């Protein structure tokens, strides 16, 4: 769904920290709204969002993952929500 709405998504790793069985990644995504997302027609707007991902590994595989991203900024950026 996200790749259809933002086919040119480019992610940049800002920080990458590993300790024990967990890896934390702070990232930035830059993309153009080129497809429908949640009923919002493509706007052609360029948006930037940020997020943090935490992965817990067992052996060489991800056993659990937690992700948090600035969805409010994304929705405001494509015009789905009014900016405060």
- Taking the model in full, what pTM does it have? 0.84
Give the pLDDT of residue 83.
72
Low-confidence residues in the chain, pLDDT < 50: none
**Hey, CA dihedral for 71, 43, 33, 41, is it positive or negative?**
positive
Give the pLDDT of residue 5.
94
Give the pLDDT of residue 1.
77
Give the pLDDT of residue 84.
65
Residues contacting 12, CB < 8 A, separation 6+: 27, 28, 29, 30
* Domains of the chain and any CATH numbers: 2-77 (3.10.450.50)
């Amino acid at each position: 769904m996200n790749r259809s709405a933002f086919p040119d998504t480019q992610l940049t790793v800002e920080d990458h920290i590993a300790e024990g069985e967990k890896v934390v990644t702070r990232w930035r995504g830059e993309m153009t709204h080129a497809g429908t997302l949640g009923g919002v027609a493509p706007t052609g707007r360029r948006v930037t969002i940020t997020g943090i991902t935490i992965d817990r590994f067992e052996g060489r595989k991800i056993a659990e993952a937690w992700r948090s991203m600035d969805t409010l900024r994304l929705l405001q950026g494509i015009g789905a929500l009014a900016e405060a």
